[in-house]
Chains A and B, each alone.
Chain A
Amino acid sequence: MRLKKLISLVIGLGVLSSIAIIYFYIIQKDFTKQHREFLLSLNTFKSAHIDLEHQILQSSIYSYHNQDDMAKNIDSLESEYKALLESKILKDATYIEVKKELQGLQKGLEQHIRSTQNYLMLNASIKNSLVFLSRFIEEANFLQEQDSELFKSSWQILKSFNDAKLMQDIDHINHNNFLLSSNSKDKETQDFITNFNMHSNFLIKKYPPYIQTTKNILSDSTRDKLEEIKKEFSHLALDDFKALDIFASILFSVFIISLFFIIVLFLKYLRENKKLQETTTSLEYSLTHDQLTGLGSRAAFHIKLQETAKPHLLLANVDCFRCINDIYGNDVGNLVLQELSHIITAEFSSTKNASIYRLGGDEFGILFDDIKRNEAFEIAVQLEKKISNYNFLISELSLHLRVSIASNFIAPILENADLALKELKQDYTTRVLEYSEELNLKTNVEDNMNILEHIKLAVKNDNIIPYFQPIINLKTQKIEKYEALVRLRLADGTILEPFKFLEISKKSPYYHNITKSMIEKTLEMAKEFPQYRFSINFSMIDILDAKILEMLCETLRANPKVANRLDIELLESENLQNIEAVQDFISSIQKYGSKVLLDDFGTGYSNFSYFSNLNIDLIKIDGSIVREIENDKRKLHMLKSIHSFSNGMNMKNVAEFVENKEVADLLHEVGVEYAQGYYFGKPLERPLDSDEIIF
Chain B
Amino acid sequence: MKKLFLLHFIIFNLCAIEPISPIPLDIEVDHAKANLGKKLFFDTLFSRDNSTSCFSCHDVYDGGADAKIVSIGVEDKKGNIQSPTVLNSRYNFRQFWNGRARDLGEQIHGPIHNPVEHDMDAKTIEARINEMVEYREMFSEVYGGASITYEQVMDAIVEFENALVTPNAKFDKFLRGELELDKDEKEGYVLFKKNGCITCHNGINIGGNSFQKMGTFMEYNEESDYPDRSKITTNPEHKNVFKVPTLRNISKTAPYFHDGSAKTLKEALGVMSKHNLGIILKEHEVEDMVAFLKTLDGEMPKILDIK
A-to-B contact residues, CB < 8 Å: 61-68, 70-72, 74-75, 114, 117-118, 120-121, 124-125, 127-129, 131-132, 134-135, 138, 155, 195, 198-199, 202
Chain A nearest Cβ from B132, distance in angstroms:
37
In this complex, which of B14, B91, B199 has the most chain A Cβ atoms within 10 angstroms of its Cβ?
B199
Contact B276 A66 (CB under 8 A): no
Across-interface contacts of A198 in B (CB, < 8 A): 278
Across-interface contacts of B196 in A (CB, < 8 A): 63-64, 124, 127-128, 131-132
Across-interface contacts of B210 in A (CB, < 8 A): 67, 70-71, 117, 120-121, 124
Chain A nearest Cβ from B203, distance in angstroms:
4
Q: Nearest CB to that of A59 among chain B residues?
A: B199
Taking a contact as CB atoms closer than 8 A, the residue among B15, B91, B233 that contacts A65 in the complex is B15
Chain A nearest Cβ from B214, distance in angstroms:
11
Contact A124 B203 (CB under 8 A): no
Q: Which of B3-11, B113-121, B137-145, B288-296 contacts A (4 or more CB under 8 A)?
A: B3-11
Instruction: Tell whether A127 pairs with B199 under 8 Å between CB atoms, given A67-B209, A117-B210, A202-B217.
Output: yes
The binding surface of chain A is classed by DSSP as: helix
Other 20 A-B pairs with CB < 8 A, given A64-B196, A68-B91, A124-B200: A63-B14, A66-B21, A68-B204, A72-B93, A74-B93, A75-B93, A75-B102, A114-B233, A114-B235, A117-B210, A121-B241, A124-B199, A124-B216, A125-B216, A128-B278, A129-B217, A132-B196, A132-B277, A132-B279, A198-B278
**Interface residue? B213 (CB, 8 A):** yes
A-B contact pairs, 12 of them (CB 8 A): A63-B10, A64-B202, A66-B20, A68-B205, A121-B212, A121-B241, A124-B196, A125-B213, A128-B199, A132-B196, A132-B279, A155-B3
Taking a contact as CB atoms closer than 8 A, the residue among B4, B7, B15 that contacts A64 in the complex is B15
**Interface residue? B39 (CB, 8 A):** no
Contact A134 B15 (CB under 8 A): no
Contact B202 A67 (CB under 8 A): yes
Complex: how many Å from CA A62 to CA B198?
12
**Interface residue? B195 (CB, 8 A):** yes
Taking a contact as CB atoms closer than 8 A, the residue among A70, A132, A138 that contacts B209 in the complex is A70
Contact A66 B19 (CB under 8 A): yes
Complex: how many Å from CA A132 to CA B199?
12
Across-interface contacts of A125 in B (CB, < 8 A): 213, 216-217, 276
Question: How many of chain B's residues touch chain A, expressed as a range?
Answer: 35 or more
Q: Which 9 A-B pairs have the closest CB atoms?
A: A128-B196, A71-B93, A68-B203, A71-B209, A66-B19, A124-B199, A125-B216, A64-B198, A67-B209
Bitwise interface map of B from 182 to 223 toward A, beta carbon under 8 Å scored 1, else 0? 000000000001111011101111000111110011000000
Contact B199 A63 (CB under 8 A): yes
Contact A121 B213 (CB under 8 A): yes
Contact A64 B278 (CB under 8 A): no
Contact B15 A62 (CB under 8 A): yes
Chain B nearest Cβ from A683, distance in angstroms:
114
Complex: how many Å from CA A61 to CA B11?
10
Chain A nearest Cβ from B221, distance in angstroms:
18
Complex: how many Å from CA A121 to CA B210?
8
Complex: how many Å from CA A117 to CA B94?
13
Across-interface contacts of B202 in A (CB, < 8 A): 64-68
Across-interface contacts of B4 in A (CB, < 8 A): 138
Across-interface contacts of A127 in B (CB, < 8 A): 196, 199
Across-interface contacts of B235 in A (CB, < 8 A): 114
Contact B195 A64 (CB under 8 A): no
Chain A nearest Cβ from B165, distance in angstroms:
15
Across-interface contacts of A71 in B (CB, < 8 A): 93, 203, 209-210
Complex: how many Å from CA A63 to CA B8?
11
Contact A121 B216 (CB under 8 A): yes
Contact B203 A134 (CB under 8 A): no
